[in-house]
Amino acid sequence: MPKEDGKSELDWQDEYIQKSLHLWRDEDKQLLNELVLPVPELFRDVAKEKLQVKSVSWH
């Protein structure tokens, strides 16, 4: 559901992910790819996003 600014929570989530990608070290990106390997390929992007959001909220 869009908020007053016209963006939904998912829109903001996607924006924060894109803005924080440069903060990820190569080792972190490699680990993320390893973590989603068991996930069917069709759903890997979604799994990566969920893990990235969790990671951002940990910091």
Residue 28 within a domain: yes
- pTM: predicted TM-score of the whole model, two decimal places: 0.66
pLDDT score recorded for residue 40: 96
CB atoms within 10 A of CB 52: 21
pLDDT confidence bin for 57, thresholds 50/70/90 = low
| Whether the predicted pLDDT of 46 surpasses 80 | yes
Please give the tally of structural domains in the chain.
Answer: 1
DSSP code string of 6-46: S--HHHHHHHHHHHHGGGS-HHHHHHHHHHTTTS-GGGHHH
Q: Is the model's pLDDT at 59 over the cut of 60?
A: no
In a domain, 3, yes or no: no
Residue 15 within a domain: no
Question: Residue 8 falls within a domain, yes or no?
Answer: no
Q: Within a domain: residue 46?
A: yes
Whether 43 is covered by a domain: the verdict is yes
pLDDT number for residue 37: 96
Tell me if 13 is assigned to some domain: no
Domain that holds residue 35: 24-59
pLDDT tens digits along 10-40:
888 888 888 888 888 999 889 999 999 999 9
